[in-house]
Amino acid sequence: MYENYGLFIDGQWRAARDKRVIAVIDPATEERIGVVPHAGPHLDEALRAAADAAGSWAATPGWERSKLLRRISDELRLRAEAAAEMMVRECGKPLAEAKGEFLAAIDQFDWYADEARRIFGHTLAGRDGGTKLTVQYRPVGPVAAFTAWNFPALLPARKIAAALAAGCTVVLKPSEETPSSAFVFADAARKAGLPDGVLNVVTGEPAEISRHLIASAVIRKVSLTGSVPVGKLIMKLCADGLKRLSLELGGHAPVLVFADADPVAAAKACATAKFRNNGQVCISPSRFYVHASIHAPFAAAMAESAKALRLGSGLDPQTTCGPMINARGRERVESLIADAVRHGATVLAGGARPSEFNRGFFYQPTVLDMVPEATRVMREEPFGPIAPIASFESFDEAIGRANATPFGLAGYVFSNSLSTANRAADALDVGMVGVNDMMLASAEIPFGGVKESGFGREGGQLGILDYLEARYVKMRHT
């Protein structure tokens, strides 16, 4: 598909003048499957297109924007099968997961097709009979959106759909490792009749593109999904121009399994969530605190579930766990496991590269038991197939350890006690909590974190607010 796409600017596909390209690698085979161009010489063209289209798109009635978003979702459904297969080749996740993700991305366009018609202001009574006070919402203006590789359809969709619904134009920079979904969105938008310049897609060197776009006076709002270090850098760049900013950054989600929970059922649910996308998920459960009274059966069931997963190419229907995205990520996982073992942790499952693969960035789903709190894997986001387990004795101990990191994206609780579940959910210092359920993300919920996991929300009724400015008007009747 890369042969058909280049840069999408002002409603047209363009070949890059810069002959430099970035290779896209299949992580299951380490083979090059395509290239994407460097947008450097074209960034001002993308900015100009977004600026030129901003006024007319902002003035387009919400009902009309709604119709266009719905048509985009219809076009995306026609492309879902092929897009999911290409996603697998780029990031390695099993085909079933890729299909589910692409459908979830379409849900974002469906949801915001409705929200485009519901941008409500409000009116207040004046302090005297001759005045009326009105609060209106207006689009913030052109948006620079940056997304990560691990959910190449869902992450861009959250930003594009909300921004378009609000009346903002967009310059999107997808991950150069997994760009094809963004190309599909652009093509679907063009076919659906989205006006030229409203959505633009550029690829290339992340640092070059982010610095150029954020420095431009055209860009009024920046949205990033990425790591904490990258988020801090983007925030510094935004400070010079006082840009509006929303950040969805890394997490290190604690899981609290209380004594009244079913340890085997909880372990199976945790394994399913932990090893989805090979643990390369920002809300992946990544620290498992289990009450000492049920610790042993939980750990045994978790290890058994990990061993039952089948590694392989995501295009193989028998595969339940694909490769990691690159060698760098795999090497980091190996270093975290080695550090935990040096500190006394026990490997219950995995812990090595699988011998049956001589190519691809595969690593065995790994369960570690009795992991000390001082290990790196309990302090740093692992972003890989590692499940570290520790035990606790009291409620306060569990909450204290769960909240001890600078992250605050998601947390999970397993308990059959309504009182315990409510207390734990209230006490966790995170943006999202799952109680006896680990599938948090959906179009209708506000997705986002606190502390160093970022700020702002994507999805749900709140998601559109990050792309709107409130304006107050006081009118005196004469």
* pLDDT cut 70: percent of the chain above it: 99
Amino acid at 229: P
Which are the contacts of 258, defined by CB distance < 8 A and separation ≥ 6?
A: 291, 395, 398, 413, 414, 415, 417, 420, 424
Phi, psi of 347 (to 5 degrees): -85, 115
260-275 confidence digits (pLDDT tens): 999 999 999 999 999 9
Which are the contacts of 233, defined by CB distance < 8 A and separation ≥ 6?
A: 210
Q: Which residues pair with 225 in a beta bridge?
A: 248
Q: Does any domain span residue 367?
A: yes
Q: Residue 79 maps to which CATH number? A: 3.40.605.10
Do 195 and 267 lie in one domain? The reply is no
Q: Which residues pair with 223 in a beta bridge?
A: 145, 246
Do 230 and 317 lie in one domain? The reply is no
Do 171 and 259 lie in one domain? The reply is no
> What value does the mean pLDDT of the chain take?
96
216-226 confidence digits (pLDDT tens): 999 999 999 99
- Tokens 């409510």 — which residue? 422
Q: Residue 271 maps to which CATH number? A: 3.40.309.10
Do 220 and 330 lie in one domain? The reply is no
Q: Does any domain span residue 447?
A: no
Do 198 and 75 lie in one domain? The reply is yes
- 400 vs 416: CA distance, rounded Å: 21
Catalytic site residue from 85, 176, 248, 452: 248
235-288 confidence digits (pLDDT tens): 999 999 999 999 999 999 999 999 999 999 999 999 999 999 999 999 999 999
pTM equals 0.95
Do 274 and 239 lie in one domain? The reply is no
The per-residue pLDDT for 168 is 98
Q: Report the candidate in 56, 52, 49, 38 with the shortest Cα–Cα distance to residue 9.
A: 49
Q: Does any domain span residue 40?
A: yes
- 211 vs 237: CA distance, rounded Å: 7
198-212 confidence digits (pLDDT tens): 999 999 999 999 999
Do 68 and 161 lie in one domain? The reply is yes
Q: Yes or no: say if 41 and 14 are a contact pair by the CB < 8 Å rule.
A: no
Number of structural domains in the chain: 2
Q: What is the mean pLDDT of residues 78-90?
A: 97
The per-residue pLDDT for 16 is 81
- 182 vs 394: CA distance, rounded Å: 47
Q: Yes or no: say if 199 and 9 are a contact pair by the CB < 8 Å rule.
A: no
Res. 20 pLDDT band, cuts 50 70 90? confident
282 is catalytic: yes
Do 337 and 294 lie in one domain? The reply is yes
The per-residue pLDDT for 330 is 97
Q: Does any domain span residue 213?
A: yes
Res. 2 pLDDT band, cuts 50 70 90? low
Do 243 and 296 lie in one domain? The reply is no
Res. 47 pLDDT band, cuts 50 70 90? very high
Q: Yes or no: say if 323 and 278 are a contact pair by the CB < 8 Å rule.
A: yes
- Domain range enclosing 66: 2-250+452-476
**Three-state SS annotation for the chain:** CHHHCCEEECCEEECCCCCCEEEEEECCCCEEEEEEECCHHHHHHHHHHHHHHHHHHHHCCHHHHHHHHHHHHHHHHHHHHHHHHHHHHHHCCCHHHHHHHHHHHHHHHHHHHHHCCCCCCEEEECCCCCEEEEEEEEECCCEEEECCCCCCCHHHHHHHHHHHHHCCCEEEECCCCCCHHHHHHHHHHHHHCCCCCCEEECCCCHHHHHHHHHHCCCCCEEEEECCHHHHHHHHHHHHHHCCEEEEECCCCEEEEECCCCCHHHHHHHHHHHHCHHHHCCCCCEEEEEEEHHHHHHHHHHHHHHHHHCCECCCCCCCCCECCCCCHHHHHHHHHHHHHHHHCCCEEEECCCCCCCCCCCCCCCCEEEECCCCCCHHHCCCCCCCEEEEEEECCHHHHHHHHCCCCCCCEEEEECCCHHHHHHHHHHCCCCEEEECCCCCCCCCCCECCCHHHEECCECHHHHHHHHEEEEEEEEECC
Which are the contacts of 271, defined by CB distance < 8 A and separation ≥ 6?
A: 301, 302, 305, 306, 309, 365, 387
- Tokens 């919402």 — which residue? 137
Do 257 and 245 lie in one domain? The reply is no
* pLDDT cut 90: percent of the chain above it: 95
Q: Does any domain span residue 374?
A: yes
Do 205 and 310 lie in one domain? The reply is no
User: What's the burial of 358, exposed, middle or buried (CB within 10 Å: 0-12/13-18/19+)?
Assistant: exposed
What are the structure tokens assigned to 197, written together? Answer: 């310049």
Catalytic site residue from 168, 238, 282, 321: 282
Do 272 and 316 lie in one domain? The reply is yes
How are beta strands 386-392 and 285-291 bridged, if at all? parallel
